[in-house]
């Protein structure tokens, strides 16, 4: 403490004054007192620190648009910003009525902050994987873990998920179980090679057109992410009947709160490319699941198309 105190150069003149005063050198006292006054002026107060700034303009937005937490200024209050957002929503294929609501929401700062929260996570949570957007060639996740029976059940052994998805599945299943509902994982990670088999079998059994409505071509399946679970009905089977089971109803009501999003909702085949699959949930994390619900009517495909377009422009 004393060492710290003595290191402060401003205290030296004061010590000098005290020492000389005690030893009777009065003329020195006056001189030293004035010296002390001149030196012990408080240091100039530092400039006020800016709030944490998020520079969204440098990479992704035209013009100078800075956002700070708590900043009440609109995120897209410049006409340039809203033109940018409008054309982005259009290119992302967001229908006009939904796009207008998103533009309204984006006038406050939370939309952009929510978006940036999603983008700060693992990119495979938001990467667009659909009929037009395959995974990177040869992609296989590095952190797959085997699903062992926990709070959920499995229809057979050998299912795998990425660690974060597996952890979340356990947490979600425990919550379901507490309400008397059992979740059954009936399909999870599928490698490229396995999807070759699945798709090939479906084509043989139902023809290419029907197979394309409910199974992805190899390289184009969300299952290859290691973040997807097909949930089974009470007997573990996968199909439309899942929607009417307790597990199906529980998932529809609660999954997004745990970071799971229904990939192919009812009536959205023209948008997702797949018929309604009440059983197929993708783990996207809590941030993105909340973002999808808050701004995109719960339609994962729209949110991912939007993010895909946003990230594409960021890289331009």
Q: Judged by CB under 5 A, how many residues of this single chain contact Zn ion?
A: 2
C-alpha–C-alpha distance, residues 240 and 222, integer Å: 19
Question: How many residues in the chain?
Answer: 316
**Taking the complex as a whole, how short is the minimal distance between the CB of residue 220 and Zn ion, in angstroms?**
12
Burial of 200 (C-beta count, 10 Å sphere; 0-12/13-18/19+): middle
Q: Which is nearer to Zn ion, 159 or 280 (CB)?
A: 280
- Applying the rule CB under 5 A, the residues between 71 and 90 that interact with Zn ion are none
Cβ closest to Zn ion, residue 189 vs residue 250: 189
Which residues are CB-neighbours of 69 under 8 A, at least 6 positions away?
51, 52, 54, 113
Using CB positions, name the residue nearest to Zn ion.
280
Is there binding between residue 212 and Zn ion (CB under 5 A)? no
As measured in angstroms, the least distance from the Cβ of 280 to Zn ion is 4
List of residues 6+ apart from 9 with CB closer than 8 A: 39
Which one, 280 or 308, has the nearer CB to Zn ion? 280
| Token pair for 130 | 């659909």
Q: Output 249 or 275, the one with its CB closest to Zn ion.
A: 275
Closest to Zn ion by CB, 108 vs 200, is 200
Pair 274, 214: CB distance under 8 Å: yes
Minimum Å gap between C-beta 113 and Zn ion is 32
- The answer to the question of residue 230 lying near Zn ion (CB under 5 A) is yes
For Zn ion, the closer of residues 32 and 221 by Cβ is 221
Q: CB-based contacts of 166: which residues, under 8 Å, 6+ apart? A: 145, 147
Q: How far is the CB of 279 from Zn ion (least distance, A)?
A: 7
Nearest distance from C-beta of residue 230 to Zn ion, angstroms = 4
Indicate whether 130 belongs to the interface with Zn ion (CB under 5 A): no
Binding mask 280-299 for Zn ion (x = CB under 5 A): x-------------------
Structure tokens at 294: 């808050």
CB of 211 to Zn ion, least distance (A): 13
Helices (H), 244-299: 246-254, 269-272, 285-295
Residues of span 254-283 touching Zn ion by CB under 5 A: 280
CB-based contacts of 282, cutoff 8 Å, min separation 6: 222, 225, 227, 228, 260, 261, 263, 300
Q: Which residues bind Zn ion (CB under 5 A)?
A: 230, 280
């Amino acid at each position: 403490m004393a060492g710290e105190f003595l290191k402060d150069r401003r205290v030296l003149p004061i010590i000098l004054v005290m020492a000389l005063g005690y030893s009777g050198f009065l003329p020195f006292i006056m001189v030293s007192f004035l010296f002390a006054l001149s030196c012990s002026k408080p240091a100039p107060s530092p400039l006020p620190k800016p709030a944490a700034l998020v520079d969204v303009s440098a990479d992704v937005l035209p013009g100078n648009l800075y956002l700070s937490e708590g900043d009440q200024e609109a995120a897209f209050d410049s006409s340039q910003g809203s033109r940018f957002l409008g054309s982005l929503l259009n290119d992302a294929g967001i229908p006009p009525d939904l796009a207008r609501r998103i533009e309204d929401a984006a006038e406050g700062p939370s939309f952009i902050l929510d978006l940036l929260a999603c983008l700060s996570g693992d990119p495979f949570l938001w990467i667009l994987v659909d009929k037009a957007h395959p995974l990177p060639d040869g992609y296989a996740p590095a952190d797959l873990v085997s699903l062992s029976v926990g709070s959920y059940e499995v229809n057979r052994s050998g299912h795998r998920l990425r660690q974060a998805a597996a952890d979340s599945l356990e947490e979600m299943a425990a919550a379901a179980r507490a309400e008397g509902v059992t979740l059954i994982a009936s399909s999870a990670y599928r490698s490229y090679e396995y999807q070759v088999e699945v798709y090939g079998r479906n084509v043989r059994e139902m023809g290419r057109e029907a197979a394309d409505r409910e199974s992805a071509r190899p390289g184009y399946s969300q299952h290859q992410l290691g973040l997807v679970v097909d949930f089974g009905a009470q007997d573990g089977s996968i199909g439309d009947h899942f929607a009417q089971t307790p597990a199906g109803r529980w998932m529809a009501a609660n999954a997004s709160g745990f970071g799971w999003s229904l990939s192919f909702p009812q009536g959205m085949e023209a948008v997702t490319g797949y018929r309604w699959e009440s059983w197929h949930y993708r783990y996207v994390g809590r941030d993105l699941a909340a973002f999808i619900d808050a701004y995109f009517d719960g339609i994962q495909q729209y949110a991912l198309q939007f993010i895909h377009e946003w990230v594409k422009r960021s890289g331009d």
